[in-house]
A = this chain, B = another copy of it.
Amino acid sequence: MKELDFLNIIKKHIGSDFIGDDCAYLKDLGIVVSQDSLAEDIHFRLDWCSPYQLGYKAVTVNISDILASGSEPMYITIGLSLPASADENFIDEFYKGAKSALRGAKIIGGDITGSDKVYISITAIGLAKGRKISSRKNAKEGYAVIVSKDAFEAFGKSSAGLKELMNGGNNQSLIKAHLEPVLDEEFSRNISCCIKEDYAMMDTSDGLADALYKIAEASNATIDTLEFDGIFGAEDYRLVAVVPEDFLANMKDFVRIGTVLQQEDYVLKIGTKKYYKYDELGLYNHFEEKI
């Protein structure tokens, strides 16, 4: 895959202030901004989801990045490209689904254009006021790695749902987990509204293991976590946070899954297995990278 080479070229062209996290934190404006795109037959198939579900998921994956930053979802713009075969019902249902996924944000605009396949690109803006904004660079030795209790039980279900769809299965609960992901809104707010110290938080769009690895790597640290079902799943869109141990006294409904160690020669330890390089995680990657 070429994505890392591509990213390195792009990073060369972008101000380094804004490289590293899934959102750009614009301190002068007090906002965070994130853009995420979904292409038909790469990120979704129209025969697997309804237009409503597509609208829901497209907005959800963007709001997920905003929640991972710790900011409050405020505004989104939707760029929607449609083949000539798309009808009014498709757009109506897509927007109904999009609206149902806003978590308090407002749709403020965007555009609609023709294209060969359905293509969706959404930009989300979150408000930083009254929140502490996360960065994946902020993990420190001794910090606790936590997820919400609800997320702990959900990890892996989205991947299992995708397998159902690929294999013609009919487990509706798993399929729903893939097509209509639930977000950790309260978990995000409970941390970012209250925490004083710098902390790291990421969504698990590419899997919990992916997020853990990237936080450890960006923080020049090593993370040691429990091994459990679903840690290698993807598209859960849940959150994982790395916070000072003291802060746990303020939290409820969470599960501590690990601890930050000082930097070792390996980046991540899951159970007893050590991971020295990203590729060893064996994660599926459909050539999609945030800048």
Interface residues of chain A, those whose CB is within 8 Å of chain B, are 2-3, 5-7, 9-10, 12-15, 18, 23-24, 26, 29-31, 33-39, 41-43, 74-75, 77-79, 81, 84, 87-88, 91-92, 95-96, 98-99, 106-117, 119, 121, 123, 125, 127, 286-291
Contact = CB atoms under 8 A, between A and B. Distances in A.
A81 B37 contact: yes
Contacts of A10: 91, 95, 112
Contacts of A84: 287
Nearest to A38: B113
A68 to B, nearest CB: 14
Given A33-B108, A39-B81, 10 more contacts: A6-B88, A6-B112, A14-B109, A23-B109, A37-B119, A41-B116, A78-B291, A84-B287, A117-B117, A121-B121
Contact of A123 (B39, B95, B123, B287): B123
Contacts of A12: 95
B96 A35 contact: no
B110 A291 contact: yes
A84 to B, nearest CB: 8
A15 to B, nearest CB: 6
| Shortest 4 CB-CB contacts between residues of A and residues of B | A121-B121, A24-B108, A123-B123, A114-B287
A39 B115 contact: yes
Contact of A109 (B37, B38, B106, B291): B291
Contacts of A24: 75, 77, 108-109
Contacts of A18: 106-109
B29 A113 contact: no
B9 A111 contact: no
A291 B111 CA distance: 5
